[in-house]
Structure 1
Amino acid sequence: MNLTPEIIITIIAAVLTLLVLIFVIDWRYFRDWIVVLLFKGLIDFAWGSPVVNLKLIDYPVRLLPHYYNTCILFELWVFPVLCVWYNQVTRDKNLLSIILYALLFSAGMTAIEYPIEVYTELIKYIEWSWFTTFYTLTITFLLSRAFIAFYRWGCDYFAKE
């Protein structure tokens, strides 16, 4: 196997995400985090494919290229785990903090993605920009936070006799 920069970045992203999952995530809230992980994976996968099919973004180097035209590592692993982390950090925060953390997480991810887009073949913007990445990430972080709040409310509400 030829270790290209794209393969090295892919391996590092997968391993770092696993380390976050093992050492950073507080698994006392297992039920919540599994729901966030599945919700984010579903949302990202459902939105990622149309974005690629509309030729807004391209992923020239990706896992399982014969089966998926999107970056499944990011959409089904990295972003959902980071979203769990975001929800953990904002678990007991007020609305302003929730929004600020969404902006911070999105800024950090955008700051990593943009050089990857410029210098590698992992992602190529066609009708996309770093700002589009930033605001779509922010929206999806906030959506996941709203969803888990709704989920917790529903669990509490329907658990009453």
Structure 2
Amino acid sequence: MDKAILWTLLLIGVVLLFFGVRKPFIKDTLLVFLLSAYFSTFIGVFVVEEKMLRYPVRFLSEYFEVSILYEYVLFPVVCMYFFQTTRHSRYIGIALQCALYTTALTIVEVLLERYTDLIEYNTWNWIYTFISNFLLMIVVRILVHLINKRERWLENDRREV
């Protein structure tokens, strides 16, 4: 049953990725996807190596100790949608939407931890998940905003020359 849940989550993640990559914002969307996958890998490896949590049933279990499905597909896809829905939001709107997305992710993780063998908390708990996901989503959002701001600034300098 647990493997079926993992395959279902993979299918959901791939479908959401397919529909989430929109033509006008493809650069930003892919940048958010790749940055969130990159940074979540460091957190995931640290948490697993420190034995704060473990994944008894894993996707591609013979190769990875971490949850590659979450770190390389599901979390980046959620970050992608978060970025798209907050593209023109103010700071308070960004923070509130980030809290909503993070709450949804945390609830799903807690349910998976309680009712399946996909996640097992040792010293980890849902508060750490909420805080780390919230901060990571905000950091990625800020980084992409700064990259876009710098790109516009460089574009304006080129026009002046």
Q: How many aligned residue pairs are there? A: 157
Match of 2:94 in 1: 98
Which among 99, 102, 111 is matched to residue 115 of structure 1? 111
* Contact 1:25-1:88 within 8 A present in 2 as well: no
Q: Provide Cα deviations, 1:74-104, integer angstroms capped at 9, x if missing partner.
A: 0001100110000000000000000000100
Return the match for 1:130 from 126, 129, 132: 126
Give yes or no for contact 1:58–1:124 (8 Å, CA) kept in 2.
Answer: yes
Q: Which runs of 5+ in 1 are unaligned?
A: none
Q: Which residue of 2 aligns with 1:48?
A: 44
The answer for the alignment partner of 2:81 in structure 1 is 85
- Tell me how far apart the structure 1 counterparts of residues 65 and 154 of structure 2 sit (CA, whole Å): 40
| SS of structure 1 residue aligned to 2:140 | helix
Q: Deviations over 1:81-139 (max 9, x none)?
A: 11000000000000000000010000011111101001111111111111111111111
Offset at residue 26 of structure 1 (A): 2.9
Equivalence map 1:24-63=2 (5 Å): 24-63=20-59
Separation of aligned partners in 1, 2:99 and 2:154: 33
- CA displacement 1:24-56 (0-9 Å, x = unmatched): 443320001111111111101121101100011
- Code of the residue aligned with 1:87 in structure 2: it is F
CA distance in 2, matches of 1:144, 1:12: 27
Query: Alignment RMSD, CA only?
Result: 1.2
Note if 1:71 corresponds to 2:62.
Answer: no
Determine the C-alpha separation between the residues in 2 that align with 1:80 and 1:9: 19
Percent of pairs identical after alignment?
Answer: 27
Which residue of the partner structure matches residue 20 of structure 1? 16
Q: Tell me, what secondary structure is at the counterpart of 2:24?
A: helix
